Amino acid sequence: MRIISSVAAPNIALIKYWGKRDDLLKLPINDSISITLDEKALASTTTIVLGSKLKRDTFILNGHAGPDAHITEALLLIRRRLGKRHHIIRKPILLISDNNFPTAAGIASSASGFAALAEAVASALGIRNRREISILARLGSGSASRSAFGGYVRWKMGKRKDGEDSFAVQVSPRSRWPQLADVIAISSAERKKVSSKSGMERTLKTSELCHCRQEHVQRAVEKVAGAIRRKDFRSLAYLTMRDSNAMHATMLDSWPPIIYMNDTSRAVVEAVHQYNEKAGSLRAAYTFDAGPNAHVITTRKEAGKIARMLKGIRGVRKVIVSGVGEGSKTIPTPQKTKQLIARILHK
């Protein structure tokens, strides 16, 4: 029996992923680029047990036992990929996973969750190739492929039908530019009305402007990668805000329209523009995933000031500050989890 625990943090995309060319394999229609967050601020902690005598896959997510279609699909794909060489993974698995932040509220809990799962599975099977871990994470959730690496990460869309060239690579390690921070303003912990999966399908199918964004977005990825290498915060900030706005524009242009940003999001947009104007240069950049919560990318030096500013905005319930993280990794299994496993297996 193998028991492996791992931890992974979400990542915040500067150039976004919104649209798949293959739904099952989660192959995107463009490259994307992100900052992996710090697992000390935001994390999914996952433990898997392989080779137990359980009769069926058992999931305990945030303390609740129950089925989960998303994880079932991921395991199916992982088994299809690895089951021939690693028989142990074909047997029922026990998976225990906890997030320290609200699920499905525009903070990518699926990114950290599936990166942690991929990390644990790979480690249990002795797989050390990080490219392979990124692909395993991608099979669960596209953006999870980026959380397999720390620092500044680019997910290459690839061209192959089987997705073997669609994985993340590190643009720059955390150590080269550790000064950035993500100040997250949570205005809603509700589950979103339109899931990312069905939202991106809808945009790709119905938005004419979406295809227009595609023409520009690859160039934007190159520019952001260059800005990261040069440690050019102003370019990074500008391109980040523009791509967030462009993505939400294509969402609004979808049919029926998808509108994730609310009045609190708009107030953050205005506050950041004012902040930068007062500073006389771009010192902060907002970006929104598939939800109303704002991520404000800035430097650690300014993070406190930005956090105070965001706390003063009507509708902001909580502010979380995260630095740049190191990517997913294995950890010793927590004592509490060991006890939980013992209780489940000896029932």
Quick one: which of 163, 221, 225 has its CA closest to 20? 163
Cβ-based nearer residue to its own copies, 146 or 248: 248
Specify burial of residue 217 (Cβ count, 10 A radius: 0-12, 13-18, 19+): buried
Q: Using an 8 Å Cβ cutoff, are 46 and 120 in contact?
A: yes
Q: Using an 8 Å Cβ cutoff, are 19 and 28 in contact?
A: yes
Residue from 26, 202, 213, 295 touching its own copies (CB under 8 A): that is: 213
Residue 203 is a binding residue for its own copies (CB under 8 A) = no
Cβ-based nearer residue to its own copies, 161 or 211: 211
Provide the terminal-to-terminal Cα distance of the chain, rounded to the nearest Å: 17
Residue from 80, 205, 211, 301 touching its own copies (CB under 8 A): that is: 211
Q: How far apart are CA 212 and CA 131, in angstroms?
A: 30
Structure tokens at 303: 């993070």
Using CA atoms, how far residue 338 sits from 14, 39, 331, 333, in Å, is 38, 21, 13, 7
Please give the size of the binding site for its own copies, defined by CB under 8 A.
24
Residues 216-235 that bind its own copies (CB under 8 A): 216
Cβ-based nearer residue to its own copies, 80 or 219: 219
Q: How far apart are CA 285 and CA 159, in angstroms?
A: 31
CB of 264 to its own copies, least distance (A): 9
Residue from 16, 26, 146, 248 touching its own copies (CB under 8 A): that is: 248
Residue 250 is a binding residue for its own copies (CB under 8 A) = yes
| Angle CA 316–246–169, to nearest 5 | 90
Cβ-based nearer residue to its own copies, 55 or 193: 193
Residues 273-332 that bind its own copies (CB under 8 A): 273
Residue from 256, 278, 332, 346 touching its own copies (CB under 8 A): that is: 256
Cβ-based nearer residue to its own copies, 161 or 234: 234
Measured from the Cβ of residue 111, the count of other Cβ atoms closer than 10 Å reads 30
Cβ-based nearer residue to its own copies, 67 or 257: 257
Residue from 88, 252, 344, 345 touching its own copies (CB under 8 A): that is: 252
Listing DSSP states for 216-239 in one string gives HHHHHHHHHHHHHHHT-HHHHHHH
Residues 21-80 that bind its own copies (CB under 8 A): none
Residue 257 is a binding residue for its own copies (CB under 8 A) = yes
Residue 269 is a binding residue for its own copies (CB under 8 A) = yes
Q: Using an 8 Å Cβ cutoff, are 59 and 95 in contact?
A: yes
Residue from 156, 176, 197, 266 touching its own copies (CB under 8 A): that is: 266
Residues that bind its own copies (CB under 8 A): 208-209, 211-213, 216, 242, 245-246, 248-250, 252-253, 255-257, 259, 261-263, 266, 269, 273
